[in-house]
Chain A
Amino acid sequence: QQQVKQSPQSLIVQKGGISIINCAYENTAFDYFPWYQQFPGKGPALLIAIRPDVSEKKEGRFTISFNKSAKQFSLHIMDSQPGDSATYFCAASRKSDKLIFGTGTRLQVFP
């Protein structure tokens, strides 16, 4: 079922730095690409999402960059804060079907 590959597995960033997490997908029929954020002991929660008709979407400090030809998309967290420390999952789905999740990236932001 592994159709979405995520890297890196873990990431350590200093406060104020940029965090970048990458995902690659295989199924060209995917048309919805969300990122979920998960804190310890909690369920994943939607952070930001993009469709393949745009190359970038920005919401506050969080930006998704999408490269349709390369079948890749990435999450950029600008001015990373200790409160951003969490596990991040990329996901993809086709026509409102089930979400297929990546394996996750554990982000640690140090002061």
Chain B
Amino acid sequence: GAGVSQSPRYKVTKRGQDVALRCDPISGHVSLYWYRQALGQGPEFLTYFNYEAQQDKSGLPNDRFSAERPEGSISTLTIQRTEQRDSAMYRCASSQDRTSGANVLTFGAGSRLTVL
């Protein structure tokens, strides 16, 4: 697609439910990143992939959070047993080529998660 597509745009769920957030990166982009952005704050790194390999998951808050990118394209961020503190905007970004050392991220519009 022309840009990074995320779905759903809005998700309201009850505490304890599992949620899955989807990211469709720009076609051909090698790297895919997940960030979480609280209101009035900067994006906070969660995890990233090169192709299908998860390179760094150091930002995932706990083991309720997981991510996958099985075919090196679409990625899913899953949050199990959601808690109210998980409420935030979850942003996906992709980048084309990191070999130049200029990691230019293109962000999607985000998925706003509200846990009641």
Contact = CB atoms under 8 A, between A and B. Distances in A.
B27 interface: no
B1 interface: no
Q: Taking chain A's interface residues, is the majority helix, strand, or loop, or is none over half, making it mixed?
A: loop
Contacts of B35: 101
Nearest to A103: B42
A103 B27 CA distance: 30
A31 interface: yes
A28 B74 CA distance: 34
Contact of A44 (B43, B98, B99, B103): B43
Task: Please indicate which of the listed interface residues A41, A91, A99 has the most CB atoms of chain B within 10 Å of its own CB.
Answer: A99
A43 interface: yes
Contacts of B33: 98-99
B103 A93 contact: yes
Size category of the A interface is 20 to 34
Given A93-B103, A96-B103, A104-B40, A41 B45 contact: no
Contacts, number: 68
A96 B91 CA distance: 19
Interface in B39-70: 40-45, 48, 56, 59
Given A43-B109, A98-B33, A32 B102 contact: yes
Interface string A33-61: 01000000111111001010000000000
Contacts of A45: 106-107
A48 B91 CA distance: 20
A73 interface: no
Contacts of A89: 42-43
B44 A1 contact: yes
Interface in A81-107: 89, 91, 93, 95-104
B4 A101 contact: no
Contacts of A6: 42
Q: Which 4 A-B pairs give the minimum distances between C-beta atoms?
A: A43-B107, A101-B42, A96-B98, A101-B43
Interface of A: 1, 6, 31-32, 34, 41-46, 49, 51, 89, 91, 93, 95-104
